[in-house]
Amino acid sequence: MADPLECNAEMSLEQQRAWWNGAATSNAANAVLSDRQEWDSDSFYASGRDWLAQHFAFGRFAAVEFGGKRALDFGCGLGRMTVAISEFYEEVIGIDISEEMLDRARKAVTRPGISFNHVTTYPLPFESESIDLVYSTIVLQHISPPHNIQYLKELFRVLKVGGLLLFDAPAASFGDDGTGIFILPRDAVLSEADTQKCKLLALRNFPATSTQHYQYLFQKA
C-alpha cells in the first residue's frame, strides 16, 4: 500500500510562510475561511464562537470541562478562534507562521489576556507541560510532511499533565487532487500520543471537508 505521506510534495516552512503572507495580503479572511469571498468582521469572529461551541460540545462527550489558565491557539490566523477561546481561558497565546496574518489579528483583536506571536518553526517557544489547552483548527492540513508530525510532537510536548489537546487533521486523501491538503495518518497521531503519554478521549469526523478528516481530543496523563 502506498504511503499516504507520498500523496503530497514537501513544502518548506519558508514557502509556507510566503504563501500565507501573500494570502493574508490579498484577502486574509477568505484565506482563513474560503466559504465567503468577502467577510464582514462581525460574522467572521462570530463564526469562531460558533465553531468553538461545537468543538467544546464534542469534547464534553468525553466528560471534560474546558476553561482554565493558559491556552495556545496554534495557527491562529486572524485570531478568529483565539478570541473565542479567551472567553474560557485567562491567557490565550495565538501563534502563526505569517506575520501578515498576525499584523491583522493584532489590529482586529485587542482583548486583555490575548497575545499574538510570530513562530516560524519548531520547537515551539514554550516550556514542556506549560499549557492547559492546546487548540488548533484547519491548520495541520496545510503543513506538509515531515513538518506536520514535528509540530504535532510539539503540541503534545507543551501540554500540561491533565491538559487538553483539541485539533483536527486529515487522515486520508481520496487521491491527490492538487488542493494542497496534507495528510497526517491517524496511526502516526495515535503513536505519538502514546509516546507522550496522552490518552485519546474522543475522535470524530471533522465536519464539512471532502477528505477523511478527524478531530481529536487528547488528555495528558
Ligand X SMILES: C[S@@+](CC[C@H](N)C(=O)[O-])C[C@H]1O[C@@H](n2cnc3c(N)ncnc32)[C@H](O)[C@@H]1O
Which residues contribute to the site for ligand X (CB under 6 A)? 13, 16, 20, 32, 75-77, 80-81, 96-98, 101, 137-139, 142-143
Q: How far is the CB of 104 from ligand X (least distance, A)?
A: 10
Q: How far is the CB of 86 from ligand X (least distance, A)?
A: 14
Q: What sign does the dihedral 147-149-154-155 (CA atoms) show?
A: positive
Which residues, at least 6 apart from 36, have a Cβ–Cβ distance to it below 8 Å?
A: 29, 30, 43
The CA distance from 80 to 48, in Å, is: 5
Kindly tell me which of 19 and 64 has the beta carbon lying closer to ligand X: 19
The CA distance from 141 to 145, in Å, is: 10
Kindly tell me which of 96 and 132 has the beta carbon lying closer to ligand X: 96
Set of cell numbers at residue 36:
465567503
Contact 161, 219 (CB under 8 A): no
Kindly tell me which of 22 and 162 has the beta carbon lying closer to ligand X: 22
Kindly tell me which of 101 and 188 has the beta carbon lying closer to ligand X: 101
Kindly tell me which of 21 and 212 has the beta carbon lying closer to ligand X: 21
The residue nearest ligand X at its CB is: 77
The CA distance from 170 to 175, in Å, is: 12
Set of cell numbers at residue 41:
468582521
- E strand spans, 75-158: 89-96, 114-118, 131-136
